[in-house]
Amino acid sequence: MEKVKKSADRNSDAIIEWSEAHRIDTCFERAQKLKPCPVGTGGACCRICHIGPCRLIGPNAEEEAVGVCGASLPTVAARNFLRMAAAGTAAHSDHARDMVLTLLSVANEETRDFQISDVKKLYRVAGILNVEFEGRPVNDVARDVATKLLDDFGRQKGQLSFLKRAPEGTRKRWEKWGIIPRGIDREITESLHRTNMGVDHDPDSLLLSALKVSLADGWGGSMISTDVTDILFGTPRPRRAEASFGIFKEDEVNLVVHGHEPSLAEMLVDVVEEPDIVAYARSKGAKGVNLGGMCCTANEVLMRHGIPTAGGFTNQELAVLTGLVDAMTVDVQCIMPALVDISKKFHTKVITTSQKAKIPGALHIEFDEHRAREIARRIVTIAIENFANRKIRGSLVSDTFPVVGGFSHEYIEYMQGGRWRASFRPLNDAIIAGRIRGIVGLAGCDNPRVPAQGLHRFLASELVRRDVLVVSTGCGSAACGTAGFLTPETAIDIAGPGLREVCEAIGIPPILHLGACVDNSRILTIVSAMAEEGGLSAEIGGMPAVGIAPEWMSEKAVAIGCYFAGSGVPVIFGSESPVGASKEVSRILTEVWLERFLGAFHFEPDPEKMLDIALNYIDRARETLKLKKYEPGKFGAERVLMDMAARRGIEKAAKPHLGIY
């Protein structure tokens, strides 16, 4: 019998096998040893007060089981779900807050280590926020933008600034169902209050609150983080880079940046090139310092600087196991504390850098944007000095795969018409004509409980084969990247005939790497722009678009799923449902939300079924929009896609597009 692989990535699997032979546990062995609690998995465990924990189980649990206080199973499951959404929103949004505070420091000239890299993006955001920008000093505009965005966190009344970027039809639904988020912090606090012992017990009301707090993530925290990061470090445009463990070099100091907040990583990109740092590395016997990324930080620096990535969530311990990592910086979110124990078996220095996230046994060097360069230099020096302590020479895996990443909203707009005619018209037309069947956002974590990365790869390839354009973020992008799926050549190899034609005309891969997990907000503005462009749905709901997080595990993923569902995009999550114990809660997430918002939240562990559900939504949306029925290889009439030559021919008198999105 063929051995079941723990990771679908052959390079990851080779390292896992090596670790097993050497009796070093990773998340893959721990996942096998530690089965999920059958009560908690489906949301039937209430730990909210200390009369319990109460387990709401039994043959008629839905109707009959109650906790000591009388809370029913639907109440408990909905309450647990809302807490996950609130925690996810808190994580993305606190990250966003730090980015805004950095922007404010830059504007106030409190730090000279960072500058505003993308003035055009600053103006675009200023325009959305009604901040005057013409003829004003850049730092003044930046200060006003940062201050307005900070207001979104603490606002008590009114609504978040970026909600107006959503189509009117979508906003009307939010208004009708009372889920317009006011301030980000207020919605998080209210969610925690509602789920306190003895407060909100109505599953529908609790789940509406899950949508509300999550909209504060998608159209608040995450969108703020994306925009401010672009302003500070540049709006991404496609870049070539490499992925997998072969990015580590035997003759260079390998320093990995792992986590989420990109400021330190940005500074490290600069510092590793400084002549005295390179000279110091040489003096220690290395050729230089090789920076590599891990998880979402990897996506941030890949799409802005072409820094290579070692992969996503389940690859983090495996990176240390290569024995080639001299230091790994970690900040917040998705960091396995197991890294510290594993690193002790090798020589790797794990360096925690956030005052919010410490791990016993790790070296702690706190990042402060006011002293960014000094701190980055200290970290690089530690990595260099550790190079000589490497015990392993030669690498277990040397594969790398080329990737193209960095498709921002702005670039996608640009690639469809050049600087002067940027628009979403060609994309809409290709969908209308049936060349592109629909769009799927493939997002979220990778997970050691399934052949890790495998569900992402399966879905990505099956979707593009069926002419579905895939936009990927976070560890979904990493899983595609380490499989070699993120190049334009993939279009020729695996994409369906219509999608291939579009990709070849524009010169893009059929899977567009949009960035980190907070950059799912780019998908929101892209579908909003498509709605505005016309010819498809006039709101986000009803578009032939679906979100899939096949290997999700983080609370942040729940928040993402909710903000997509609440905005009108049906989402399908893998694994067992965290509300599976309650039929009523599951029904609300799928049927009721679909009726109200045209988005729905499904949990489906079987990848074939995920694919079916997604295609079904896409085809139903096409039918409702009265678009040509999708048939592979048969297209309707449409405008000619503009290739590069056509774009160059466009007259230059027109005004550059500053757009509301």
471 forms part of the interface with ligand NFS (CB under 6 A):
no
CB of 548 to ligand NFS, least distance (A): 13
Query: Among residues 253, 283, 475, which one has the least CA distance to residue 349?
Result: 253
* Region from 20-28, 134-142, 303-311, 554-562 binding ligand NFS, contact rule CB under 6 A: 554-562
449 forms part of the interface with ligand NFS (CB under 6 A):
no
Question: Closest CB to ligand NFS among 194 and 456?
Answer: 456
Question: Closest CB to ligand NFS among 479 and 502?
Answer: 479
Question: Closest CB to ligand NFS among 217 and 429?
Answer: 217
Question: Closest CB to ligand NFS among 254 and 333?
Answer: 333
**Distance from C-alpha of 21 to C-alpha of 579, rounded to nearest angstrom:** 38
* Region from 66-74, 204-212, 302-310, 552-560 binding ligand NFS, contact rule CB under 6 A: 552-560
67 forms part of the interface with ligand NFS (CB under 6 A):
no
Q: For residue 366, count other CB atoms closer than 10 A to its CB.
A: 11
**Distance from C-alpha of 490 to C-alpha of 464, rounded to nearest angstrom:** 10
Q: Which two tokens stand for residue 126?
A: 């200023």
Burial of 517 (0-12, 13-18, 19+ CB in 10 A): buried
* 373, 432, 458, 508, 619 from 495: Cα distances, Å: 44, 18, 13, 12, 18
List binders of ligand NFS among 221-260 (CB under 6 A).
Answer: none
Taking CB under 6 A as the criterion, the residue among 221, 418, 474, 574 binding ligand NFS is 474
**Distance from C-alpha of 401 to C-alpha of 101, rounded to nearest angstrom:** 36
List, in order, residues 6 or more apart from 554 with CB less than 8 Å away. 88, 333, 334, 444, 445
Question: Closest CB to ligand NFS among 520 and 528?
Answer: 520
SS3 for 513? Answer: strand
Identity (one letter) of the amino acid at 448?
P
- In the shown chain, the binding pattern of residues 417 to 446 toward ligand NFS, with x for contact by CB under 6 A and - for none, equals ---------------------------xx-
Taking CB under 6 A as the criterion, the residue among 61, 99, 468, 475 binding ligand NFS is 475
Q: Which two tokens stand for residue 83?
A: 């807490």
Taking CB under 6 A as the criterion, the residue among 293, 311, 312, 547 binding ligand NFS is 312
* Region from 110-118, 232-240, 551-559, 589-597 binding ligand NFS, contact rule CB under 6 A: 551-559
Are 643 and 504 a contacting pair, CB within 8 Å? no
Q: Which two tokens stand for residue 129?
A: 């926020």
* Region from 148-156, 391-399, 549-557, 585-593 binding ligand NFS, contact rule CB under 6 A: 549-557
Say what the alpha-carbon torsion angle 93, 95, 97, 100 is, to the nearest 10 degrees: -130
CB of 469 to ligand NFS, least distance (A): 20
- Residue linked to tokens 């003096």: 283
Q: Which helix (H) or strand (E) holds 530?
A: helix 520-533
List binders of ligand NFS among 285-304 (CB under 6 A).
Answer: 295-296
Which residue intervals of 569-606 are DSSP H helices? 583-587, 593-597
Question: Closest CB to ligand NFS among 353 and 416?
Answer: 353
Buried b (16+ CB within 10 A) or exposed e, 253-268: bbbbbbbbbbbbbbbb
Provide φ and ψ at 601, rounded to 5°.
-120, 110
The answer to whether the peptide bond before residue 262 is cis (omega within 30 degrees of 0) is no
CB of 309 to ligand NFS, least distance (A): 11
Taking CB under 6 A as the criterion, the residue among 557, 562, 614, 618 binding ligand NFS is 557
Q: What is the DSSP letter of 226?
A: H
**Distance from C-alpha of 182 to C-alpha of 167, rounded to nearest angstrom:** 18
Question: Closest CB to ligand NFS among 75 and 297?
Answer: 297
* Region from 430-438, 490-498, 502-510, 553-561 binding ligand NFS, contact rule CB under 6 A: 553-561
Query: Among residues 622, 498, 592, 517, which one has the least CA distance to residue 561?
Result: 517
218 forms part of the interface with ligand NFS (CB under 6 A):
no
CB of 492 to ligand NFS, least distance (A): 28
Q: Which two tokens stand for residue 405?
A: 């990443």
Residues near ligand NFS (CB under 6 A), total: 14
Q: For residue 283, count other CB atoms closer than 10 A to its CB.
A: 9
456 forms part of the interface with ligand NFS (CB under 6 A):
no
SS3 for 163? Answer: helix
- In the shown chain, the binding pattern of residues 323 to 362 toward ligand NFS, with x for contact by CB under 6 A and - for none, equals ----------xx----------------------------
List binders of ligand NFS among 497-526 (CB under 6 A).
Answer: 517
Query: Among residues 274, 290, 211, 294, which one has the least CA distance to residue 560?
Result: 211
Which residue intervals of 177-327 are DSSP H helices? 184-194, 203-216, 222-233, 262-271, 275-283, 295-305, 316-321
Q: What is the DSSP letter of 165?
A: G
Question: Closest CB to ligand NFS among 222 and 343?
Answer: 222
* Region from 10-18, 270-278, 320-328, 550-558 binding ligand NFS, contact rule CB under 6 A: 550-558
CB of 536 to ligand NFS, least distance (A): 28
Question: Closest CB to ligand NFS among 267 and 452?
Answer: 452
- Residue linked to tokens 């080329």: 402
Residue nearest to ligand NFS (CB): 474
CB of 323 to ligand NFS, least distance (A): 23
CB of 261 to ligand NFS, least distance (A): 12
573 forms part of the interface with ligand NFS (CB under 6 A):
no
CB of 395 to ligand NFS, least distance (A): 24
556 forms part of the interface with ligand NFS (CB under 6 A):
yes
CA 196-198-201 angle, to 5 degrees, is 95
CB of 605 to ligand NFS, least distance (A): 17
Question: Closest CB to ligand NFS among 280 and 573?
Answer: 573
CB of 518 to ligand NFS, least distance (A): 8
- In the shown chain, the binding pattern of residues 355 to 394 toward ligand NFS, with x for contact by CB under 6 A and - for none, equals ----------------------------------------
313 forms part of the interface with ligand NFS (CB under 6 A):
yes
460 forms part of the interface with ligand NFS (CB under 6 A):
no
Identity (one letter) of the amino acid at 547?
G
**Distance from C-alpha of 204 to C-alpha of 304, rounded to nearest angstrom:** 42
**Distance from C-alpha of 285 to C-alpha of 278, rounded to nearest angstrom:** 11
Residue numbers of the site for ligand NFS (CB under 6 A)? Answer: 295-296, 312-313, 333-334, 444-445, 474-475, 517, 554, 556-557
